[in-house]
Amino acid sequence: MIFKNAYVLTDRFTFEKCDIETDGQNIVNVGNCPSEGIDCTGKYIVPGLCDNHTHGCVGCDSSEAFSVDVIDRMSRFYAENGITTFLPTVTTASADNTLKSIETIVKALKDGVTGSNIGGIHMEGPYFGEKFKGAQNPAYLRNPDINEFMKFYKASGNSVRIISVAPELFGAPEFISEASKICTVSMGHTDADEEQARTAIDCGVSCMTHTFNAMRPLHHRNPGAVGIALDSGIYCEFICDGFHINKTVIRIMYKLLGDDRMVFISDSVRAAGMPDGEYEFSERPIIVCDGKVRFPDGTIAGSSATLFECVKNAISFGIPAESAFKMASATPAKAAGIYEVCGSITAGKRADLLVLDENFDIEKVMIRGRFFSKKVVD
């Protein structure tokens, strides 16, 4: 299939008028294709989005995914909304439930899903402390345990791509040193001070989990983990739903970090794609009102946004479209260690593409070289 005359967001992350040729699975050429194809004059084509941090959607949760059908249902919703790669994110739970969830995700990965690609697994927990647990279930919080983690990792078929951990916990430096050899280690839900955060990065932390949310605030005399992360050169996740972080802060972070380090995530829970109402997250009730997700005590409990909505928000905040799409495609793919297969429009990579109109709204989604059929999720 050949796309002709589109404004293509190339792997230089500038919009250039050119053609794209695919072979039914991968991109084979970006440039001038002499053969006829689909006329995309006036359209934009961008790489499919990669959501590194999403717990669920349409009533489903990765941590309670004990059926491949649940993962497939999620994958179709993501595909409909421009997310062509996602990391099912399992939250703090019992060891047995975590293992069951991982095994189900791995089965879905091996058997294949009908929507978005599974890029691997993000384990958000259980190695967090009580003070900044956020939406994590306190009943299952514990100190880092490399032996336990290796059981999860082996059960995943080596597909855990990210593990989030609080670096101030007992044994964290040793855990980070070992875990960072096999996957991305991200620090989050943390009360770490400056020294603890620097030690974590020295030991192998390369990302920060939903920066600013559920962690010690940045202070001018005590920068803590936030300050060290921003100063260090590691990747930093941001929930750009317009609720978790003020738009002015998003703009400031963009000026500071640029699109090579700033990673947009949704942190969506099962309420994404669902109406306001009462749901459950991490075995506890949550309430969704005006799209905002909270526990009954008012604590924020993830989001109901999609990653594509986060990109559109960023553009409306004043972030250049080229950078907004990069921070939801190439940069997260690099942070998760999967950039060799997705995240940019490059010959040899999977043909995961979004065809957009002049307002950057989705017209067509291509996954693995085939157009995804936009059907309403049952």
Query: How far apart (Å, rounded) are the C-alpha atoms in residues 8 and 14?
Result: 8
Inside any domain, residue 78 = yes
Q: Report whether 43 contacts 4 (CB < 8 A).
A: no
Inside any domain, residue 319 = yes
| 33 and 155 inside one domain | no
Q: What share of the chain is helix, strand, coil (3-state, %, to 5)?
A: 30, 30, 40
Inside any domain, residue 349 = no
| 15 and 110 inside one domain | no
Question: What's the Cα-to-Cα distance from 294 to each of 90, 92, 135, 244, 279, rounded to whole Å?
Answer: 18, 17, 9, 11, 10
**Residue 376's pLDDT is what?**
42
Inside any domain, residue 92 = yes
Inside any domain, residue 124 = yes
- Choose among 116, 16, 84: nearest CA to 322: 16
**Residue 374's pLDDT is what?**
65
Which residue among the candidates 241, 267, 290, 352 is catalytic per the annotation? 267
Mapping DSSP to helix (H, G, I), strand (E, B) and coil, where does residue 21 land? strand
Geometric angle at alpha carbon 134, from 239 and 248, rounded to 5°: 35
Inside any domain, residue 59 = yes
Q: Is the pLDDT of residue 53 over 80?
A: yes
| 174 and 290 inside one domain | yes
Domain with 197 in it = 49-341
| 135 and 249 inside one domain | yes
| 173 and 41 inside one domain | no
Pairing between strand 38-39 and 83-91? unpaired
Domain CATH for 135? 3.20.20.140
Instruction: Label residue 33 by pLDDT band (50, 70, 90).
Output: confident
The DSSP string of 332-370 is HHHHHT-TTTSSS--TTSB--EEEE-TTS-EEEEEETTE
Query: How far apart (Å, rounded) are the C-alpha atoms in residues 74 and 114?
Result: 10
**Residue 235's pLDDT is what?**
98
Q: Tell me if the pTM is above 0.95.
A: yes
| 16 and 139 inside one domain | no
Backbone angles phi, psi at 314, to 5 degrees: -60, -40
Q: Is the pLDDT of residue 378 over 70?
A: no
Backbone angles phi, psi at 199, to 5 degrees: -60, -40
| 72 and 98 inside one domain | yes
Q: Report whether 155 contacts 103 (CB < 8 A).
A: yes
Chain centre to alpha carbon of residue 139:
25
Query: How far apart (Å, rounded) are the C-alpha atoms in residues 129 and 282?
Result: 16
* Percent of the chain predicted with pLDDT > 70: 99
Q: Is the pLDDT of residue 162 over 80?
A: yes
Instruction: Label residue 205 by pLDDT band (50, 70, 90).
Output: very high
| 14 and 79 inside one domain | no
Question: What's the Cα-to-Cα distance from 199 to each of 37, 126, 167, rounded to whole Å?
Answer: 54, 20, 8
Q: Is the pLDDT of residue 231 over 80?
A: yes
**Residue 35's pLDDT is what?**
85
| 8 and 62 inside one domain | no
Tokens standing for residue 82: 């421009």
Say which residue the tokens 């697994």 belong to: 121
Cβ neighbors of 314 (< 8 A, separation 6 or more) are 240, 250, 254, 264, 324, 327
Q: How many domains does the chain have?
A: 2
DSSP state, residue 246:
-
Inside any domain, residue 350 = no
* Percent of the chain predicted with pLDDT > 90: 96
Q: Report whether 306 contacts 272 (CB < 8 A).
A: yes
| 99 and 142 inside one domain | yes
Query: How far apart (Å, rounded) are the C-alpha atoms in residues 55 and 33?
Result: 40
DSSP state, residue 219:
B
Mapping DSSP to helix (H, G, I), strand (E, B) and coil, where does residue 100 land? helix
The DSSP string of 320-331 is -HHHHHHTTTHH
**Active-site residue 267, yes or no?**
yes
pLDDT digits (tens, 9 = 90+) for 270-311: 999 999 999 999 899 999 999 999 999 999 999 999 999 999
Q: Is the pLDDT of residue 361 over 50?
A: yes
Tokens standing for residue 347: 């010959």
| 57 and 170 inside one domain | yes
Q: Is the pLDDT of residue 113 over 90?
A: yes
Give the CB-side neighbour count of residue 278, counting CA atoms within 13 A.
4
pLDDT digits (tens, 9 = 90+) for 140-160: 999 999 999 999 999 999 999
Geometric angle at alpha carbon 308, from 306 and 312, rounded to 5°: 120
| 222 and 117 inside one domain | yes
Inside any domain, residue 285 = yes
